[in-house]
């Protein structure tokens, strides 16, 4: 029974009730919506009133014999049209401006509320599959759909509303929901790929990322077809009913005239009303699809907003005290992660930590050390047992107050894409500059910050990419020092520091730790040697505890780990003692020419900037996309030319049918004044003609909607694929620009492609349809009576000018708002990706304030845009009804002078009415033109940009037998984002094939930069890098990177299974289970993988969040082993491993890579093999 209920529940349409979209309305918004609704209803009455006046006009023409009396009667009606024009302009302004302004206000609050609810959630919420790309997608593309469903289109819909449309709502809703789900999958792929672009490039996974993105879009196609069929059927039936209602009205109207109960004017008033209401019905149908999309988009968003987390950072209930002592106790704790409920981490763990003491936690990777810290921070609650501070259960404290008392520095330091000062300031609300500088001094960060181009105001980049690992770690430590916590948690906090920096920072931490309860997690036992108590954790249990002196002589786990590390330390000291000799005397050594790099002649033969790339822009004809964006769409959509011809042909047919309908109305007026016998005969004939037109209209409307929905999808898919493919092949330096962060690129691709799809699917067809109506209407007007047509044309330039002004202002607003929204999206993305750090720092409110500040600008621009649109829209309505007033009065004068006829006047009037209506609709559609143009130009800027280091080209040299000799020849380099500071200056180094070189130096000295240059993430400004004597710029880039395997200090895993992450070592190609398991064995990862419930099929979470640091590192090493490259690059690759694992892994690497060239970036000179050379890098 329960299963059937769940099945039934899942089959329900996932959409919120429409009224809930307005949950975030305040009293001002309620007033705006009330005024907007009232204005919309009033605007809806304008057309019936116009029909009534037209009926009066017909009677004045047809029943008044005296031409002078006729002119007087017509002048009175014309004056009423002027009054109507004034009223229509006012209500049109109120309708558009009120709904646009309130939509901007409410959507901004909705975005803020959604982000706040995300930041409010417990960590388990993120462990269960909530992906950053999905959240960014909801805050960009979904918000656009919600905004459309709440803004000016609501007022337009109320104006056009008809109950018939409700029958199609359910089908449109299901299609819209499927579209949202499929589209978000593509957004997730984009965000994950761009956020890990260096790993993608190193592993040559660009093609695999593009294919994954393509598969996500293919799912989107199925729902698009359903959407096209539903919308096409709805539109076709609507138009069929319009023409059939005309047929019935003419036949029945003739009966009423023959019975002498109605005049021709009365009947035409009814028919005119039917005409207007019918077109309102037709024009309202697309808005139903918009509302369905908005409801579907809002479902998941509101689901999150309404979710009540079990651990709520915003919950103000709970105990607070003046202070805490810092006694911590674990009592019989049982715990397993919510995402892996069957993998028990702790089974009855108990531990007491007295206040003011320092506790060292040691043990192998994945033993549960970091989990203890997560429980103290209350990222999770245990399934049973309790954690107590000063004898009080953590659950009884107010969560925010508790976390303010705890300082955390993790193994992988987290920085947001802000300035150094902003990142440090997260440690304390309203911290002064003096306090920040004092904390910097304590953490030994003063020197490197002072050397930055903007000092404290230097932007650190996404994930802190502009800083070295050690520099990031010192910023994180500075932040913790500024927080001044009573409980300090250090999770491998100094693992990324060089020896000297670590010594200084430890000295600072020793001062900070006085009178504080401190828990230190470390793989290097020297870090915890002086701790008051050392706790050894093994498989989630405490196997030993005591002081260093108590444990070292025991023949236990700690003693074994200690002996392993002491042996390694002896070798390290030997290396240190001969480091100077090696550096000074080795034939393979570095040299530094300290003369200014600018004095080095940039000879073309030695300049590393590649000039031989043959990559050409994808869209060569459109090198200046801002000038020809619409023509470019035609170029991109040319494969669907037949579909477009059918769709636009149907739109042309619909445009002509609208005009024919108006002309037939004028013919109807004539036949209503015929003799009874002729009247009966002609009404039957024309009624049948309307039925024929109904069938034609059904076919044309269905074809237009269905074919253009298809064409819109294929264009959207092509643009996204081309843009994404272009993005993944950009040089790494391009991503260092804050404008090209993963959050902004993801939002740009998502929103721009969706906007362009909507343009092809809806806007362009309506523009073409209305344009045909305008041109044909003007042609018919001049054919029937050029004098009358010329005189009435005087108002058209005024309508066009008002529309041009609207488009101009809207264009200026759209581009600026778009850029601001992308910046806000990046703030949200950074916060969600680093949710643990945000929670630990109690920085939710800071992030919200930053996000709200970024969102405030677009909201104000949107409100100004709404007011501008409202004014111009009202003016266009005023002019349109003034045209009616003028045309009838002039027409009466022309009839009086015998220059035209009564039927001719109404033929021109209806033609001109359709023309004016077409212009009005075009102006309404034109308000979206700047947004469409900005989207096209934004994507074309990506498509037409030539990557300076392009991995997509097959151009370049490949070698059948690579030896692995590497040479840096007088290399100088500065990052594009810091063009005034040389990171590497006149660097020389020669590495023989099959040898190992350890590159050492202080944090930020440029060690990791050398590896980036070798992999051609960047090209040097001066000098050469050669491989087997050939400049690396001459190699095919993909081949070059395939020859190198990189394991970095902060390993990047993808939100996929362990099996797939290891298989990425061979570029995503098919790797057998035996090969994958062999690589895992060699990396000492097979045992812990097999111990997981899903084994190799365990999903590692976003950026490997479901695994410990050591476990992630071993999977990354397994991936590198599987790659089997000739050159191995290890950037602090074993820093996250415990002593035993490090020894086993290093032994395996030595065995597998025995005949390979190895470059090891290290803070400590550990002897890997006897052929080690040391290359010291200094700044």
pLDDT level of residue 149 (50, 70, 90 thresholds): low
Percentages helix, strand, coil for the chain, rounded to the nearest 5?
Answer: 65, 10, 25
| CA dihedral for 435, 441, 445, 448, sign (positive or negative) | positive
Q: pLDDT of 992-1021, one tens digit each?
A: 888 888 888 776 778 888 888 998 988 999
Max mean pLDDT range (167-171, 523-527, 691-695, 994-998): 691-695
Q: pLDDT of 187-224, one tens digit each?
A: 777 777 777 788 788 777 888 888 887 887 777 676 66
pLDDT at position 387: 92
pLDDT at position 389: 92
Provide, rounded to the nearest whole percent, the portion of the chain with pLDDT above 90: 4
Dump strand ranges (E) for 1055-1171: 1127-1131, 1157-1161
Mean pLDDT of 867-890: 77
Q: Give the SS3 label for residue 976.
A: coil
Cβ 910 vs Cβ 665: under 8 Å: yes
Output the CA torsion 715→721→722→723 (10° steps). Answer: 100
Q: pLDDT of 221-264, one tens digit each?
A: 766 676 667 767 777 777 787 778 778 777 877 877 777 667 77
Q: HSE on the CB side for 194, CA within 13 Å? A: 35
Angstrom distance (rounded) from CA 548 to CA 565? 14
For 505-543, letters b (16+ CB in 10 Å) and e give bbebbeebbeebbbbbbbbbbebbeebebbbbbebbebe
Task: Kindly calculate the radius of gyration of the chain based on its CA atoms and give it in whole angstroms.
Answer: 36
pLDDT at 175 over 60: no
Dump strand ranges (E) for 797-937: none
Q: Which phi and psi angles does 1030 have, rounded to 5°?
A: -110, 135
pLDDT level of residue 333 (50, 70, 90 thresholds): very high
Angstrom distance (rounded) from CA 929 to CA 869? 13
Mention every residue, 6+ apart, whose C-beta is less than 8 A from residue 642. none
Model pTM score: 0.60
The kind and range of the H/E element at 192 are: helix 169-195
Which has the higher per-residue pLDDT, 210 or 1151? Answer: 210
pLDDT at position 16: 72
pLDDT at position 625: 42
Cβ 207 vs Cβ 215: under 8 Å: no
Which has the higher per-residue pLDDT, 610 or 709? Answer: 709
pLDDT level of residue 609 (50, 70, 90 thresholds): very low
pLDDT at 686 over 80: yes
The kind and range of the H/E element at 477 are: helix 469-483
Which has the higher per-residue pLDDT, 742 or 338? Answer: 338
Q: pLDDT of 610-624, one tens digit each?
A: 333 333 444 444 444
Mean pLDDT rounded to a whole number for the chain: 76
Output the CA torsion 68→74→78→79 (10° steps). Answer: 60
The Cα-based distances of 68 to 892, 952, 1047 in angstroms read 9, 80, 95
Max mean pLDDT range (713-717, 761-765, 988-992): 988-992
pLDDT at position 352: 92
Mean pLDDT of 1166-1178: 48
Angstrom distance (rounded) from CA 810 to CA 865? 6
Q: Which of 594, 380, 408, 589 is nearest to 486 (CA)?
A: 408
Maximum distance among all Cα pairs of the chain, rounded to whole angstroms:
125
Q: Which of 258, 74, 241, 88 is nearest to 165 (CA)?
A: 241
Domains, the chain, ordered by start: 15-307+625-943 (1.20.1560.10), 328-521 (3.40.50.300)
What one-character-per-residue DSSP string does 362-427 give?
E-STTSSHHHHHHHHTTSS--SEEEEEETTEEGGGB-HHHHHHTEEEE-SS----SSBHHHHHHTT
Angstrom distance (rounded) from CA 1013 to CA 1027? 12
pLDDT at 608 over 50: no
Angstrom distance (rounded) from CA 457 to CA 449? 9
Quick one: DSSP state of residue 1172?
A: E
pLDDT at 904 over 90: no
What is the CB neighbour count within 10 angstroms for residue 587? 7
pLDDT at 815 over 60: no
């Amino acid at each position: 029974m329960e299963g059937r209920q769940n099945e039934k529940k899942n089959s329900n349409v996932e959409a919120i009730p429409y009224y809930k979209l307005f949950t975030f309305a305040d009293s001002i918004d309620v007033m705006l919506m009330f005024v907007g609704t009232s204005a919309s209803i009033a605007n809806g009455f304008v057309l019936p009133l116009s029909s009534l006046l037209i009926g009066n006009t017909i009677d004045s023409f047809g029943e008044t014999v005296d031409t002078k009396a006729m002119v007087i009667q017509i002048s009175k009606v014309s004056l009423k049209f002027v009054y109507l024009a004034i009223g229509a302009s006012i209500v049109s302004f109120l309708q558009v401006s009120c709904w646009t302004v309130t939509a901007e206000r409410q959507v901004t609050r909705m975005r803020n509320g959604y982000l706040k609810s995300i930041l409010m959630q417990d960590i388990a919420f993120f462990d269960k599959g909530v992906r950053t790309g999905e959240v960014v997608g909801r805050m960009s593309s979904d918000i656009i759909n919600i905004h459309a469903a709440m803004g000016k289109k609501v007022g337009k819909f109320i104006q056009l509303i008809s109950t018939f449309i409700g029958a199609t709502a359910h089908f449109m809703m299901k299609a819209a929901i499927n579209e949202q789900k499929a589209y978000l999958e593509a957004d997730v792929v984009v965000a994950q790929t761009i956020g890990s672009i260096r790993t993608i490039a190193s592993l040559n996974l660009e093609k695999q990322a593009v294919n994954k993105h393509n598969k996500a879009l293919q799912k989107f196609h199925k729902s698009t077809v359903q959407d096209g069929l539903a919308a096409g059927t709805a539109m076709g039936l609507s138009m069929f009913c319009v023409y059939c209602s005309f047929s019935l009205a003419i036949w029945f109207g003739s009966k009423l005239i023959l019975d002498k109960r109605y005049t021709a004017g009365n009947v035409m008033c009814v028919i005119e009303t039917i005409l207007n209401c019918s077109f309102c019905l037709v024009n309202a149908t697309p808005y139903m699809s918009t509302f369905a999309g908005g409801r579907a988009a809002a479902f998941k968003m509101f689901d999150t907003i309404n979710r009540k987390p079990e651990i709520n950072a915003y919950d103000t209930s709970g105990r607070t005290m003046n202070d805490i002592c810092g006694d911590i106790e674990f009592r019989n704790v049982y715990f397993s992660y919510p995402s892996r409920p069957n993998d028990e981490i702790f089974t009855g763990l108990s531990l007491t930590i007295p206040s003011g003491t320092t506790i060292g936690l040691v043990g192998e990777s994945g033993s549960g050390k970091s989990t203890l810290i997560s429980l103290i921070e209350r990222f999770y609650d245990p399934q049973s047992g309790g954690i107590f501070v000063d004898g009080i259960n953590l659950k009884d404290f107010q969560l925010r107050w508790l976390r303010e008392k705890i300082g955390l520095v993790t193994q992988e330091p987290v920085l947001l894409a802000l300035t150094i000062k902003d990142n440090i300031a997260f440690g304390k609300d309203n911290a002064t500059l003096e306090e920040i500088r004092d904390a910097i001094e304590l953490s030994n960060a003063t020197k490197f910050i002072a050397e930055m181009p903007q000092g404290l105001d230097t932007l650190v980049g996404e994930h802190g990419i502009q800083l070295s690992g050690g520099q990031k770690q010192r910023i994180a430590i500075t932040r913790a020092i500024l927080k001044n916590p009573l409980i300090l948690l250090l999770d491998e906090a100094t693992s990324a520091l060089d020896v000297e920096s670590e010594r200084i920072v430890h000295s600072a931490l020793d001062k900070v730790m006085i009178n504080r309860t401190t828990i230190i997690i470390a793989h290097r036992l020297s870090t915890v040697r002086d701790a008051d108590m050392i706790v050894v954790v093994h498989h989630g249990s405490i196997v030993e505890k005591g002081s260093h002196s108590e444990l070292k002589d025991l023949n236990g786990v700690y003693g074994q780990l200690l002996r392993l590390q002491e042996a390694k330390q002896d070798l390290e000291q030997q290396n240190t003692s001969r480091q100077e000799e090696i550096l000074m005397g080795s034939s393979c050594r570095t040299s530094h020419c300290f003369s200014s790099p600018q004095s080095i002649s940039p000879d073309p033969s030695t300049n590393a900037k590649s000039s031989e790339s043959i990559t050409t822009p994808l869209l060569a004809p459109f090198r200046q996309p801002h000038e020809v964006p619409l023509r470019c769409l035609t170029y991109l959509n040319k494969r669907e030319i037949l579909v477009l011809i059918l769709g636009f042909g149907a739109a042309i047919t619909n445009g002509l049918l609208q005009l024919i309908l108006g002309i037939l109305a004028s013919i109807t007026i004539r036949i209503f004044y015929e003799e009874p016998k002729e009247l009966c005969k002609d009404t039957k004939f024309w009624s049948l003609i309307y039925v024929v037109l109904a069938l034609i209209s059904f076919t044309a409307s269905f074809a237009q909607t269905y074919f253009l929905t298809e064409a819109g999808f294929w264009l959207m898919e092509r643009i996204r694929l081309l843009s994404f493919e272009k993005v993944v092949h950009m040089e790494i330096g391009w991503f260092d620009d804050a404008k090209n962060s993963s959050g902004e690129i993801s939002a740009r691709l998502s929103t721009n492609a969706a906007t362009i799809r909507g343009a092809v699917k809806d806007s362009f067809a309506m523009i073409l349809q209305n344009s045909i109506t305008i041109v044909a209407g003007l042609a018919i007007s001049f054919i029937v009576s050029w004098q009358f047509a010329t005189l009435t044309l005087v108002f058209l330039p005024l309508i066009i000018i008002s529309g041009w002004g609207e488009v101009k202002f809207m264009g200026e607003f759209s581009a600026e708002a778009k850029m601001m929204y992308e910046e806000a999206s990046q703030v949200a993305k950074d916060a969600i990706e680093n949710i643990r750090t945000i929670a630990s720092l109690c920085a939710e409110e800071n992030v919200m304030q930053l996000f709200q500040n970024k969102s405030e600008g677009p909201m104000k621009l949107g409100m100004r845009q709404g007011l501008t649109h409202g004014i111009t829209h009202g003016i266009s309505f005023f002019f349109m009804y003034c045209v009616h007033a003028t045309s009838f009065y002039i027409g009466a004068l022309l009839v009086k002078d015998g220059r035209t006829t009564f039927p001719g006047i109404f033929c021109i009037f209806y033609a001109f009415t359709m023309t004016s209506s077409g212009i009005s609709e075009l102006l309404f559609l034109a308000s979206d033109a700047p947004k469409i143009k900005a989207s096209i130009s934004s994507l074309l800027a990506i498509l037409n940009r030539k990557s300076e280091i392009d991995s997509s080209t097959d151009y370049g040299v490949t070698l059948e037998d690579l030896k692995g000799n590497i040479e840096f020849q007088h290399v100088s380099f500065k990052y594009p984002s810091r063009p005034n500071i040389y990171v590497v200056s006149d660097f020389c180094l020669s590495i023989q094939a099959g040898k190992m070189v350890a590159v050492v130096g202080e944090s930020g000295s440029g060690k990791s930069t050398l590896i980036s240059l070798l992999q051609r993430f960047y090209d040097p400004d001066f000098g050469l890098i050669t491989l087997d004597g050939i400049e690396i710029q001459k190699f095919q880039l993909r081949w070059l990177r395939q020859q190198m395997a990189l394991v970095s200090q902060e390993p990047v895993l993808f939100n996929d299974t362990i099996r797939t992450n290891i298989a990425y070592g061979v570029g995503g190609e098919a790797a057998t289970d035996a090969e994958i398991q062999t690589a895992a064995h060699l990396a000492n990862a097979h045992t812990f993988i097999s111990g997981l419930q899903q084994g190799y099929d365990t999903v590692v979470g976003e950026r490997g969040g479901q695994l410990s640091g050591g476990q992630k590192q071993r999977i990354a090493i397994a991936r590198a082993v599987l790659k089997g490259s000739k050159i191995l690059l290890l950037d602090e690759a074993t820093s996250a491993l415990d002593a035993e694992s490090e020894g086993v892994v290093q032994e395996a690497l030595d065995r597998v890579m025995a005949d390979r060239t190895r470059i090891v970036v290290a803070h400590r000179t550990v002897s890997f093999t006897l052929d080690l050379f040391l290359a010291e890098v200094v700044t």
